[in-house]
């Protein structure tokens, strides 16, 4: 388990020329470092997502999104709004920390004692190594991101004030075990937020295509093959829905209080079209503009709330205190 709470003073970590954000804070990485990061992401994504992405532009957007500091900060701001308290001084864990930008932002912008876990097996080794390089470039100890999976979080019980995971649960081997581990390491009174695509909705973001709610994996593979995409990626996904998440949470009903599922966020985004066009979301926004023109958005939202079409699912819960258990 990482022990260091302060940035490393290793001479191997060169100082960066940081540029100001509009709000007066400083950026995490220099422009030159960001460009180098983009080049590495392009090289990593091309062989893995080349036949999954909707186009070369989609692939490029994926790389740019994952190298976007402001996106990580916006995600943390959404988390803060959901839990109703700042992250400053809190023990924070990101499960599935990717290239490490959100952990770096949590440390440097939100002033949290932030850690991450990212598996270092063959499939994800490049991501883990890249995350540690990102942390080193940001002047942070690379070891605050540990080589681990969500099924076996290498921290003691009741350690974290906040646990966060975004677009990870659909990629793990055992989602119920990951949820159990998050509950275990969360302090009583602490909060967790899990953001995950809803396969009970009408959108699949990895492929950037319209989806059919609750489509079984076998039919999903046929569907994406007809679209000219690589179907094998479907086999790597957990097709998470609101109902499945509720079943996975059921064993913890005496330990947690569910605060929100993100329905109001989904409704606001559909009504206002006020969401960033990350990945292939520009396509989804174009479809929604047509539905706005047809004046059927109120009906869509009414049906969507009933059938749980909200996507992504933004599950926020609080671990009960011992008094609340009683």
Per-residue pLDDT of 149-161, as tens digits, reads 999 999 999 999 9
pLDDT in tens, 227-268: 999 999 999 999 999 999 999 999 999 999 999 999 999 999
- Least Cα distance to 163 among 120, 113, 104 occurs for 113
Give SS3 for 147: strand
Would you put residue 8 in left (φ > 0), alpha (ψ -120 to 50) or beta? Answer: beta
**pLDDT at residue 5 is higher than 50:** no
pLDDT of residue 32 exceeding 60, the answer is: yes
Q: Which two tokens stand for residue 211?
A: 């989806």
Q: Where are the alpha helices (DSSP H) in the chain?
A: 31-49, 56-66, 69-83, 101-108, 125-137, 175-185, 217-226, 242-249, 263-272, 281-293, 297-307, 322-325
Place of tokens 């302090």: 187
Helix 101-108 with 69-83: angle, nearest 10 deg = 60
Cα–Cα dist 148/263, whole Å: 31
* Two tokens, residue 228: 């000219």
Percent of the chain with pLDDT over 90: 81
Q: Quick one: pLDDT at residue 242?
A: 98
Cβ atoms of 301 and 267 within 8 Å: the answer is yes
Q: What is the DSSP letter of 278?
A: -
Domains annotated for the chain, with CATH where assigned, are: 31-198+240-262+310-325 (3.40.50.150)
């Amino acid at each position: 388990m990482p022990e260091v709470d302060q940035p490393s003073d290793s001479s191997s970590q060169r100082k960066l020329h940081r540029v100001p954000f509009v709000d007066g804070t400083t950026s995490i990485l220099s422009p030159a470092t960001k460009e180098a990061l983009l080049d590495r992401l392009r090289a990593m994504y091309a062989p893995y997502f080349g036949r999954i992405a909707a186009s070369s532009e989609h692939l490029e957007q994926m790389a740019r999104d994952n190298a976007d500091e402001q996106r990580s900060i916006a995600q943390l701001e959404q988390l803060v709004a959901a839990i109703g308290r700042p992250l400053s001084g809190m023990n924070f864990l990101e499960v599935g920390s990717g290239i490490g930008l959100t952990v770096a932002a949590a440390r440097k912008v939100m002033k949290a004692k932030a850690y991450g876990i990212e598996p270092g097996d063959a499939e994800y080794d490049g991501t883990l190594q890249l995350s540690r390089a990102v942390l080193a470039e940001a002047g942070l100890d690379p070891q605050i991101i540990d080589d681990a999976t969500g099924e076996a979080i290498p921290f003691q019980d009741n350690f974290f004030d906040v646990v966060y995971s975004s677009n990870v649960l659909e990629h793990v081997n055992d989602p119920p075990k990951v949820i159990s581990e998050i509950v275990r390491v969360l302090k009583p009174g602490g909060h967790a937020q899990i953001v995950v695509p809803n396969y009970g909705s009408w959108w699949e973001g990895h492929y950037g295509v319209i989806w059919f709610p609750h489509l079984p994996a076998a039919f999903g593979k046929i569907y994406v093959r007809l679209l000219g995409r690589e179907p094998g990626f479907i086999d790597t996904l957990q097709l998470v829905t609101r109902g499945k998440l509720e079943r996975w949470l059921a064993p913890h009903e005496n330990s947690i209080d569910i605060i929100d599922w993100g329905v109001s966020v989904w409704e606001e985004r559909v009504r206002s079209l006020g969401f960033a066009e990350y990945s292939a979301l520009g396509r989804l926004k174009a479809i929604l503009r047509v539905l706005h023109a047809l004046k059927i958005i109120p009906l869509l939202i009414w049906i969507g709330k009933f059938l749980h079409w909200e996507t992504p699912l933004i599950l926020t819960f609080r671990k009960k205190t011992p008094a609340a258990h009683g």
